Structure 1
């Protein structure tokens, strides 16, 4: 597996993208994941200059639906292998019929693009539904891939290892995130998520990219190094 950092972690770092990517490359990551497309030409050139790869790009539902042609062109320029829908609100998982509509939506969105669409989970997808959760029901109703966020799944009371085993073959990107017992993001190794077991299960499930994300780091510059330092021993 290759290592990356989700740039949402660094959203408060007021530096040019080229400087941010220099920091990431110097820390030893293999790549990055973008939170929004920005200027794809500038981003592509900055990636090439640092030698960093790209795990994917997060694009919101409104942009995916309103101008799929422009988004498709931008993603091709960026050369992102995966297009990630980062969030759908609670209403999309509130009932069996809502999940059916959500599954159909994901299938329609993926058909608009020339590369796989992944859905990134938070915790609200794991509300009880039928004999399982809304997330279970979604997996049953669509073949669209998943960018699995282990931290949010754990915060929802789920076993991320069991879920990764179920996602075998359809989880090319995993967000490695640690959480406190109260469900708050924290530094890798300082929370309650079974990180080593998650990494091992991700490898067995065919995951290509292990992406570090901290939703609310105290110091984003320190988080860059802390993230890769936390990931390295898990991958040995």
Structure 2
């Protein structure tokens, strides 16, 4: 089976305590997942946490799941690198990515991105020494042009870090996910697979702009016949499924996405 992970943010409402965590992991394993990306695991990181990282590792192990990667706040990675590294090593993660950086830096000017790259350098060095990749996870604002370029191009041109490209946010920005994947040849080991669909607004104006939202992979508007071959050619090894908002049971959405990718991604 190809390396396909479930992003736990998709089922964040089922991760509040250890009992819920057991059930969520059981359901993910039951539909065929072998990998997860850790995010929004309140049972471990929330204010009422009742589960240690070591216990989470044991729960995953008991269900035949492995933690591929984790989304961790960059401020913690920068200021408490040793503790964050211990967390990642305990879970066996291959990669870590900050879900956003705008909680620390201004994303509306290049000085914020320059400071991020400067501050990330020693973090990346320590993670690399431990065999863990550091990747950048994008949203749509990285594709907004100012000063003659955009933040995504700035990050590509001024660093060699891995990019955990998010197909949904890339497409919503107006960029072509397949073209961006080709641009990241050799630097896109991890791909965030998200699909998009649109629904009409409640606005009675017939010309009201439809609202984009998320869809299971393969059920939306993205061109996976272009995206997936581009990813294979660019060296993508891990496909991570995330759906921020689900219009039906999130576990069913993940199962549908998994089946779609299993049929189209080579082992």
Pick the aligned partner of 1:111 from 121, 125, 128: 125
Query: How far, CA to CA, are the matches of 2:9 and 2:186 in structure 1?
Result: 26
Does the 8 A contact of 2:78 with 2:119 survive in 1? Answer: no
Gapped regions of structure 1 (runs ≥ 5): none
- Residue of structure 2 in register with 1:89 after alignment: 102
Does the 8 A contact of 1:33 with 1:211 survive in 2? Answer: yes
2:39 maps to 1:10? no
Q: How far is 1:106 from its partner?
A: 2.5
TM-score (norm 1): 0.91
Greater CA deviation, 58-67 or 148-157? 58-67
RMSD: 2.0
Does the 8 A contact of 2:197 with 2:213 survive in 1? Answer: yes
Query: How far, CA to CA, are the matches of 2:174 and 2:212 in structure 1?
Result: 9
Pick the aligned partner of 1:98 from 102, 106, 112: 112
- Residue of structure 1 in register with 2:237 after alignment: 208
Q: How far is 1:57 from its partner?
A: 0.7
Does the 8 A contact of 1:13 with 1:220 survive in 2? Answer: no
Query: How far, CA to CA, are the matches of 1:130 and 1:20 in structure 2?
Result: 45
List per-residue Cα deviations over 1:69-117 (Å, max 9, x = no partner): 1111111111101011111229543233333222223323312423221
Counterpart secondary structure, 1:87: coil
Gapped regions of structure 2 (runs ≥ 5): 45-51, 199-210
Greater CA deviation, 115-124 or 97-106? 97-106
| Number of residue-to-residue matches in the alignment | 236
Counterpart secondary structure, 1:135: helix
List per-residue Cα deviations over 1:163-216 (Å, max 9, x = no partner): 111111111111110012543212222322112321211111111110111001
- In structure 2, relative to structure 1, the CA distance for the partners of 1:206 and 1:8 (3 Å cut) is same
2:176 maps to 1:159? yes
TM-score (norm 2): 0.81
Does the 8 A contact of 2:137 with 2:165 survive in 1? Answer: yes
Query: How far, CA to CA, are the matches of 1:50 and 1:196 in structure 2?
Result: 32
2:23 maps to 1:19? yes
Pick the aligned partner of 1:168 from 185, 188, 194: 185
